[in-house]
Structure 1
């Protein structure tokens, strides 16, 4: 596939070409929610980007035989689509050479058009909504499996492994939450048409009281509740499920599958009650590389722990930098074709993209919580 300059204004293409040949600094933008309810996830992502850039600079990053310095340009989108497009335009105006982000599907999709129109490659480390790569933007990539795989796999797992027959579904009305919940229901029904969706409710990404929703669901006697949303809502929901005496198992996607969920849920986390899936997954020898990353992260950020997506952010930066080296240029027009055909072994596993920009053969890792700790169960593809 060839990314031609007709996709971007000629003036922008010339500006990038000139700056790439003359400058010693290559700018990589990173965007995530550093404020708001999911700020802990955004900060985790930012930390992964910092680690990658610092390690590359420490090794003396070279492009076409010339030492260059990678500069990280950090922006906060607050998980808000309007703010997301504003900071996307800010990064375009700053003439960044590439963007890693956004975290949320709801901000990633609208921002992607701005990057595409400017000819700037974008790699999302965590956006899972299928629409992101269905837009036909050759500049858009992701390093995690999308909702079709994430939600569908969870649906099949709920039926086959957890033996769920009466399922209630709640989503937070976000692009991610609705998308993963829809695919979950499709996957469950496809696996066993006799499965009953006994309730379909919705809340918001900032809600704290779920009494009415959970009381309604309790009367329908579900054996499993699926939640499409983030840990900031999923945690309190689990706490209130326990308070109401709801004994159903709880399942969610990668948005709830964090180290923080146990803290947010308190005694509602239980033992083996929660099943969630994280996009990505490593097995065998690759587990050592992932463990090494976690150890380096802890050394770099002593008071913090890997939450969820920072390894994927780290890999996304490395993939972008490798494409630049392969192209012998940080000019987006020149390195984008290398990004499209990249083959990279990351800490999260092998990374290649299909013709839409989705990761090929994306894995999922299934987790539960035991003793208040996120506990790995298996990797599935």
Structure 2
């Protein structure tokens, strides 16, 4: 046997050992994401999921180090269909998969029941879009949100209805979900505090398509403003039927209706400046460029416009990973303290949390629709 032939297996052994050592230095960190990527608001769920994908891909391209190890981030994306029962099922699936943190859910109605499962398992959860105050009022140490809650959002819209729209009589409709009922209740508080009268309050569901009976009742009361607590998939057909019935009242709603898709869903029912809605977030001045750049990058990557929440999902992933880096650990129990005292500049603005897990100084952006496009009215706190 020649000297050369002896060296081949030796070199192979060295290469194998080196590869094994390199692999040992790489750490896999799994981040779960949950949103409704099926059903009536799948376009919003996909928007959220895309925001998570952008963040994960960027982090992997950067080669993030945590505790001296190079990290490979993996996104485990799940579909809750906007259904609370399905939401808890996929939450348990993520717990069983031993994810290092969860971004989601989109709806308050799925986020709140799922949050108990994550809390019991000791897994950090950041919701990029659930606005019902109950989510962070449960006392769960690992529950956070990066958008303003319904108390801020609904109350601001209620005050706006009276102060700017000069509404004296208002009608309110909600879709009986945790989000819809919550934002409607806060709107009523805000409007009543400024002297408006609720002349009628009606209820529908998040799957309804026929509102003729409700709208006929409302038309008889001749309100100045109709507020809807629900999502764009229901608001669109409702606006079409309002137009068919000759109802010209202003139509207001929270972030659930405040999407680019509302134009398509409402058709000619969208009107000119008839719809006013609020997005739970917003940036001004110097921070505006970061958001604009994100939207350009998002469209280039996915070929569609941002709906609403993708930037907030992106920031949720980034702020979670920043906490991991500061803690030198991807374990929820170890990076949680860093998250609680986090001060992070994201594409959606400055992110810091209060003792409940709500974002501090949350902003709201008011929009209307003109010439078939969503148009910014103002950013408020």
Q: TM-score range by the shorter chain?
A: over 0.9
- Tell whether the 8 Å contact from 2:26 to 2:69 is kept in structure 1 after alignment: no
Partner of 1:295: 296
Partner of 1:136: 139
Aligned partners of 2:235, 2:65: CA distance in 1, in Å?
Answer: 44
Partner of 2:10: none
Aligned partners of 2:90, 2:124: CA distance in 1, in Å?
Answer: 15
Aligned partners of 1:51, 1:281: CA distance in 2, in Å?
Answer: 20
Q: CA deviation at 1:64?
A: 2.5
Aligned partners of 1:182, 1:255: CA distance in 2, in Å?
Answer: 15
Q: CA deviation at 1:191?
A: 1.8
Aligned partners of 1:102, 1:28: CA distance in 2, in Å?
Answer: 13
Partner of 2:318: 318
Aligned partners of 1:332, 1:41: CA distance in 2, in Å?
Answer: 27
TM-score relative to the length of structure 2: 0.93
Partner of 2:378: 378
Aligned partners of 1:270, 1:106: CA distance in 2, in Å?
Answer: 30
Confirm or deny that 1:171 pairs with 2:174. yes
Partner of 2:369: 369
Q: CA deviation at 1:22?
A: 7.6
In structure 1, list runs of 5 or more residues that go unmatched: 1-20
Larger radius of gyration: 2
Aligned partners of 1:166, 1:360: CA distance in 2, in Å?
Answer: 33
SS at match of 2:248: coil
Aligned partners of 2:266, 2:100: CA distance in 1, in Å?
Answer: 40
Pairing partner for 1:65 from 57, 64, 68? 68
Deviation digits for residues 203-225 of structure 1 (CA, Å, limit 9, x no counterpart): 00000000000000000001110
Query: Root-mean-square deviation (CA), in Å?
Result: 0.9
Aligned residues: 358
Aligned partners of 2:133, 2:239: CA distance in 1, in Å?
Answer: 28
Aligned partners of 1:62, 1:39: CA distance in 2, in Å?
Answer: 34
Partner of 2:165: 162
Q: CA deviation at 1:65?
A: 3.0
Confirm or deny that 1:216 pairs with 2:226. no
Aligned partners of 2:264, 2:99: CA distance in 1, in Å?
Answer: 37
Aligned partners of 1:187, 1:219: CA distance in 2, in Å?
Answer: 24
Partner of 1:206: 207
Aligned 1:264-279 pairs, distance under 5 A: 264-279=265-280
Confirm or deny that 1:103 pairs with 2:106. yes
- Tell whether the 8 Å contact from 2:209 to 2:234 is kept in structure 1 after alignment: yes
Aligned 1:77-92 pairs, distance under 5 A: 77-92=80-95
Q: CA deviation at 1:140?
A: 0.2
Pairing partner for 1:184 from 182, 187, 192? 187
- Tell whether the 8 Å contact from 2:87 to 2:111 is kept in structure 1 after alignment: yes
Partner of 1:225: 226
Structure 1 stretches of 4+ with a deviation exceeding 6 A read: none
Aligned partners of 1:173, 1:22: CA distance in 2, in Å?
Answer: 50
Aligned partners of 2:165, 2:285: CA distance in 1, in Å?
Answer: 26
Deviation digits for residues 49-70 of structure 1 (CA, Å, limit 9, x no counterpart): 0000001111111112321111
Aligned partners of 2:41, 2:25: CA distance in 1, in Å?
Answer: 39
SS at match of 1:290: helix
SS at match of 1:78: coil
Q: CA deviation at 1:23?
A: 6.0
Deviation digits for residues 95-140 of structure 1 (CA, Å, limit 9, x no counterpart): 0000000000000000000000100000000000011000000010
Aligned partners of 1:252, 1:75: CA distance in 2, in Å?
Answer: 28
Aligned 1:21-100 pairs, distance under 5 A: 24-100=27-103
TM-score relative to the length of structure 1: 0.93
Q: CA deviation at 1:305?
A: 1.3
Confirm or deny that 1:285 pairs with 2:286. yes
Partner of 1:342: 342
Distance 1:340 1:89, change over 3 A: same
Q: CA deviation at 1:175?
A: 0.4
